[in-house]
Amino acid sequence: MKVAIYGQYYQNSTEPIINDIFVFFNKNNVEMVIESHFLLMLNEKKIVENKYKTFTSHTELDSSFDMLISIGGDGTILRAATLVRDSGIPILGINAGRLGFLATVQKENIAEFMQFVIDRKYTISKRALLSLTCSPTNESIEEINFAMNEITVSRKDTTSMITIDTYLNDEFLNSYWADGLIISTPTGSTGYSLSCGGPILTPDVKSLLITPIAPHNLTARPLVVPDDTEIRLKVSGREENYLVSLDSRVTSVKNESILILKKTPFQINMVEIPEETFLKTLRSKLLWGQDKRN
């Protein structure tokens, strides 16, 4: 078995996690290839020897890899997705961060979960992604043109609201007057969209979510649409530019540009370990069932 290992940060709390993973994988003859910046951090702290192979970009992650292990929080998983791209390599998240909603393995029971990995006792949860076409073209979007959580348009350099003309499959939907608009995948439904009053979708639901950010209109509500819908946006406002984000990546776009959002032809494969299902994560991470009255 061959796995890629990726992380963005090193803190003292990382050491036991790394130790557990490396001891377990070495004992079980799993080949580890480590992202070069992450290995440098681990070398500097003398946590890991320099004997491992490294990778630096998505081009080096080929079909010989069985899995990518992301050590960090949700932000790290979103970056890990930009490394695996359309390769189909499944991602398993080990939560070294804070909420870690997408990172299903908790640091307390790494060895137990890694045993599921080498016994291949896991399932794959396929995550739909969104891509963006911008006219005129925006080069910073071209390089990594997909979002696993959401694509958001929002106001920039102003407190003034923006107007977002929105069309679904060429039919006019609404002109949102708001701080912004979130187009979310089912995976992203527990992220930014949730904070703006959007519903939670289970990851396998074939839908997209359109959630306005602070609309100045009491009747504007989050809308669920089929995931084969082509969504077209045109933004206008007092400033010349507005912000577009794809997950954690942000760029500036000129007013009146045309944005077309569509589901990508490929998906991201997330590893689901027995017992760590989406429904269990809802209860444990969003604290459902904590109300002791029932």
Ligand X SMILES: Nc1ncnc2c1ncn2[C@@H]1O[C@H](COP(=O)(O)OP(=O)(O)OP(=O)(O)O)[C@@H](O)[C@H]1O
Ligand Y SMILES: NC(=O)c1ccc[n+]([C@@H]2O[C@H](COP(=O)([O-])OP(=O)(O)OC[C@H]3O[C@@H](n4cnc5c(N)ncnc54)[C@H](O)[C@@H]3O)[C@@H](O)[C@H]2O)c1
150's contact among ligand X, ligand Y, none, with CB below 5 to 8 A by partner kind, is ligand Y
Distance of closest approach, residue 151 Cβ to ligand X, in angstroms: 17
Position 248 contacts ligand Y (CB under 6 A)? yes
Q: Give the Cα separation of 136 and 254 in Å (integer).
A: 9
How many Cα atoms are found within 13 Å in the side-chain-facing hemisphere of 251?
A: 17
User: Exposed, middle or buried, 200 (CB in 10 Å: 0-12/13-18/19+)?
Assistant: middle
Instruction: Report, in Å, the least distance between residue 132 CB and ligand X.
Output: 21
Q: Is 192 in the site for ligand Y (CB under 6 A)?
A: yes
Gap between the Cα atoms of 249 and 242, Å rounded: 14
Q: State the binding site for NAD(+).
A: 74-75, 79, 149-150, 179, 190-195, 214
Could you give the 3-state DSSP secondary structure of residue 129? coil
- The answer to whether 179 contacts ligand Y (rule: CB under 6 A) is no
The single residue of 74, 157, 204, 228 carrying the catalytic annotation is 74
- Could you tell me the smallest distance in angstroms from the CB atom of residue 248 to ligand Y? 3
| CA dihedral sign, ordered 103, 107, 109, 112 | positive
> Which partner from the list ligand Y, ligand X, none does 72 bind, CB cut-off 5 to 8 Å by kind?
ligand X
Query: Rule CB under 6 A: is residue 146 a binding residue for ligand Y?
Result: no
- Assess 190 for contact with ligand Y (CB under 6 A): yes
Q: 6 vs 65, which CB is nearer to ligand X?
A: 6
DSSP-derived letter for residue 135 is E
| Total Cβ atoms within 10 A of residue 9 | 15
Tokens of 77: 């998983």
Residue environment code for 235-265, b if the CB has 16+ CB neighbours within 10 A, otherwise e: bebeeebbbbbbbeeeeebeeebebebbbbe
Q: Is 74 an active-site residue?
A: yes
Per CB under 6 A, 195 contacts ligand Y: yes
Of 39 and 196, the one with the shorter C-beta distance to ligand Y is 196
Query: Which residue lies nearer to ligand Y by CB, 3 or 73?
Result: 73
Q: Which does 11 bind (CB under 5 to 8 A by kind): ligand Y, ligand X, none?
A: ligand X
Which residues have C-beta within 8 Å of that of residue 28, sequence separation ≥ 6?
1, 114, 118
Closer residue to ligand X (CB): 76 or 138: 76
What is the biggest distance separating any 2 CA atoms in the chain, rounded to whole angstroms? 61
**Is residue 98 close enough to count as binding ligand Y by CB under 6 A?**
yes
Give dist(CA 74, CA 85) in Å, integer: 16
What residue 93 binds from ligand Y, ligand X, none (CB within 5 to 8 A, per partner kind)? none
Pick 20 or 74: Cβ nearer ligand Y: 74
Q: How far is the CB of 60 from ligand Y (least distance, A)?
A: 24
72: contact with ligand Y by CB under 6 A: no
Residue 191 touches ligand Y, criterion: CB under 6 A = yes
Q: Which residues contact 118 (CB under 8 A, 6 or more apart)?
A: 1, 28, 30
Beta-ladder partners of 182: 152, 211
Q: Which residues bind to ligand Y, rule: CB under 6 A?
A: 73-75, 78, 98-99, 101-102, 149-150, 187-188, 190-192, 195, 247-248
Instruction: Indicate which residues carry an active-site annotation.
Output: 74
